[in-house]
Chains A and B, each alone.
Chain A
Amino acid sequence: MIRFTEVSKRYSNGHEALSRVSLHLPVGEMAFLTGHSGAGKSTLMKLVALIERPTNGQVIINGQNLSKIKRGGIPCFRRNLGIIFQDHRLLYDRTVFDNVALPLIIAGYGRKEIGRLVRASLDKVGLLSKEKVYPITLSGGEQQRVGIARAVIHKPSLLLADEPTGNLDPDLSREIMHLFEEFNRVGVTVLIASHDLDLIRELDKPIIKLEQGYLAHHGAMDAIDTDSGIRGMAGAIHG
């Protein structure tokens, strides 16, 4: 589903955020992207969502080589993704219903179908009763669930979540992560950027660990602990 080949990203200010990263996330997998802030997590996510373009290397998502997608093709490409943000990014002047319906409205669905799918999606995240309220009246966890309902309503094949539990307490975070697991169980590929190591350990999913732009680890969680301890120390000495 996601394949990076020797991907580097250098920003115009000269900072190299990603250095020759190669990785492969198969269809139907759920993986966590971790690393300290500044390690390149956000950059990697942005490359997948075509918010940024790599300086070098090749990114292939769902069989599509992203370098072949021109500006005009980006909207169409993004409709296959579901993106969840740490800051929710809801439209606060519209109701929960309208927020969740947005991807369908953009894609030009009929009114009846929109109503049916929005309710199904809201039901999935447990917010069916809140469809008519404005997001500002909801708690942080509820707002994040609205964001998730919006991200999955058009049944994307790839779900990207950037620090989805960043502002939530542990219980709510766990709830959100289980929601992702459920989507993954029905075949959606899920990539979650997070540094909530306790929760990640609990879920026992593959880890992609970035350190200063390099891929430090890709695999099961238990391998990382000792590994990253040494590397982390090395990093600290280098720093």
Chain B
Amino acid sequence: MARDLNKDMMLNPAERGGKRASRRGGFSLKGWLNNYLLRHIQTFFYTLGQISTRPFSTFMTAAVIGIALSLPAGLNLLLQNGQEVLQGWNSATQISLFLTQKTGEKSAKKLASVLRKMPEIATVEYISKESALAEFSKHSGFGEALDALEQNPLPAVLLITPELGQQQPAQIAALVERLSKRREVDIAQLDMEWVERLFALMAIGERGVLILAGLLALAVLLVVGNTIRLAIQNRRDEIIITKLIGATDSFIRRPFLYTGFWYGLLGGIIALILVELSLVLLADPVREVASLYHSSFRLQGIDAQTLAALLGVGSFLGYFGSWIAVGRHLREIEPT
């Protein structure tokens, strides 16, 4: 056996050429693809093995990435929950229809019954001129002054609660617009300006989270880039040797890219754990507050979409950060 192998090593160049040619003749796309995939899979797991031999430093890097990712992810989750809460408050939105002075009680009640039949409207409450005046004088403290007036200056009011599911600001605005065009209606007023303001504030919050996410993504790129730069420097000799043996740039780059990918993925997992942990810590106080408002609101956890985004963004940033570092530093390392 050994002698055969010996002979194989010692074939003369012509024969070797022949052998090479025959190998080329036997070239198959499938075989090449298999080898290519195999090499990628090997590198994939080889790099995982490599970083697991240094658990502490790997964890440090992944933790920095995890914290950077968890901040925007967590804030985004809070915003989502905030919107959920707002949706609930929206149901308290009411539209006040101040009827014209000409509209008598009969036509007002008729209008109320018409409105009740509209699908967008949940409830209609009729407040007559008299009860409006009574309520006003009771609460305002102007009772005596009002008594001095000959006529009741207050209009009759229809208090309208829109149907749930019709709570988007745009839909409600359209409803108000339509109602205000009715003959009997003097002014249609929406009691939700504060909700609109809150929505506007939320939009600022969302934009803020976006900016923060951008900055922290940049931070992740820098962290991964720096880690990979150090890894490249540590493996300087190895890179030089493989270059001398004829390794292409992509061959040398591959393990570093996968290492970056692993860092990013681990960072994403750590971020996931951090966010879930924060949610657990927040759950009790939130339930407390909710119960004070007679709400059954519960903090929503991470959904599948956020989970996929977190892991996907993490591993992409790891890969990309590594790609930048490798591109910058690999060219500098040449055999001398």
Interface residues of A (CB under 8 A from B): 28, 46, 49, 51, 72, 75-79, 81, 83, 89-91, 102-103, 105-111, 116, 119-121, 123-124, 128, 150, 152, 155, 157, 182, 186-188
The answer to whether the Cβ of B244 comes within 8 Å of any Cβ in the partner chain is yes
> Nearest-CB distance from B26 to chain A (Å)?
11
Given contacts A111-B38, A128-B2, contact A120 B244 (CB under 8 A): no
Which of chain B's residues have a CB closer than 8 A to the CB of A124? Answer: 6, 9-10
Residue from the list A77, A106, A123 in contact with B5, Cβ < 8 A: A123
The answer to whether the Cβ of B171 comes within 8 Å of any Cβ in the partner chain is no
B336 & A51 in contact (Cβ 8 Å cutoff): yes
Contact with A along B13-27 (1 / 0, CB 8 A): 110100010000000
A102 & B245 in contact (Cβ 8 Å cutoff): yes
Q: How far is the CA of A150 from the CA of B247 in the complex (A)?
A: 14
The B27-63 residues at the A interface (CB cut-off 8 A) are 31-32, 34-36, 38-39
Which of chain A's residues have a CB closer than 8 A to the CB of B335? Answer: 51
B10 & A49 in contact (Cβ 8 Å cutoff): no
Q: 10 A–B contact pairs at CB < 8 A?
A: A72-B249, A75-B251, A89-B244, A107-B246, A108-B32, A108-B39, A123-B5, A124-B6, A155-B11, A187-B12
Q: How far is the CA of A111 from the CA of B42 in the complex (A)?
A: 11
Is chain B's binding surface mostly helix, strand, loop or mixed?
Answer: helix
Q: How far is the CA of A128 from the CA of B10 in the complex (A)?
A: 16
Which of chain B's residues have a CB closer than 8 A to the CB of A83? Answer: 244-245
A182 & B10 in contact (Cβ 8 Å cutoff): yes
Residue from the list B13, B31, B240, B245 in contact with A106, Cβ < 8 A: B245
> Nearest-CB distance from A58 to chain B (Å)?
22
Q: How far is the CA of A157 from the CA of B11 in the complex (A)?
A: 12
Q: How far is the CA of A107 from the CA of B39 in the complex (A)?
A: 11
The answer to whether the Cβ of B243 comes within 8 Å of any Cβ in the partner chain is yes
A121 & B9 in contact (Cβ 8 Å cutoff): yes
B245 & A108 in contact (Cβ 8 Å cutoff): no
Given contacts A79-B246, A103-B246, contact A120 B241 (CB under 8 A): no
